[in-house]
Amino acid sequence: MRLDKFLANNNIGTRSQVKEYLKGGSVTVNGTICKKADTPINEDSDIICFRGNQIVYRKFIYIILNKPGDIVTATRDKKLPTVMDLIKPLPAKDLFPVGRLDRDTTGLLLICNDGELSHKLLSPKYHVDKTYLVGMERKPSMSELEALESGLDIGDDTKTLPAKAVLREDGMLLLTIHEGRYHQVKRMLEAVDNKVTSLKRISFGNLNLPDDLEEGKWRELTEDEIHEIVFSR
């Protein structure tokens, strides 16, 4: 990998900023100042330092965010704040949200730079579980819960896949689905003459929203969490 690409990928700066840092002698490779942007380096074995601090290369970065409402799930938006605006400083520049939560939906959002994992988590053929805590306009009947679980016509060509619907004592619904259709949870509730009043994703595959992660906060996944979400695929 070129040295300037390595530095830019690790969010040291833009390519033009990186070149200025190099010219100024801010970067060393294996203890020697290096000023050439096109210097080839081995990101796995060479020791790269910026202003005396070693840059540890990580091919993939995985972040869990407790998404608040009124935030758009996108890398950028011309008018509205995005989930990426909440992650400061960015550990890498090529991060993206895995899937999409509606603007008013809160809860677990995975952000990474692992395209292969993202595809597997979102592909319909893998049937990855997604569990939501759903607030509703009214308490659903047993027959409506059974309808949610067995599959519904929500206006698409095919019915929804079988789901799991558990009504909690506090009146909230735990709904686990295996698809990612447009506004799916809201449309499923509408199909049984109900309405979603609040929606929070609490799990995605084997990854659960931590109780101690406040809304609007984020952290990188632990090694155990990475193993669960990556190697369980």
Catalytic residue among 4, 44, 102, 170: 102
End-to-end CA distance of the chain: 29
Residue with tokens 């809201």: 186
* Element holding 50 (H helix, E strand): strand 48-50
The partner residues of 175 in beta bridges, in order of sequence, read: 132, 165
* Dihedral angle over CA of 148, 149, 154, 159, nearest 10: -160
Nearest CA among 134, 130, 233 for reference residue 192: 134
Task: Give the separation between CA 79 and CA 36, rounded to whole angstroms.
Answer: 39
Task: Give the separation between CA 132 and CA 149, rounded to whole angstroms.
Answer: 14
Task: Give the separation between CA 12 and CA 14, rounded to whole angstroms.
Answer: 7
List the Cα angle 105/11/96 in 5-degree steps: 25
Task: Give the separation between CA 94 and CA 232, rounded to whole angstroms.
Answer: 24
Is 4 tagged catalytic? no
DSSP structural state of residue 72: B
CA 57 to chain centre: 21
Nearest CA among 48, 51, 46 for reference residue 21: 51
Which residues does the annotation mark as catalytic?
Answer: 102
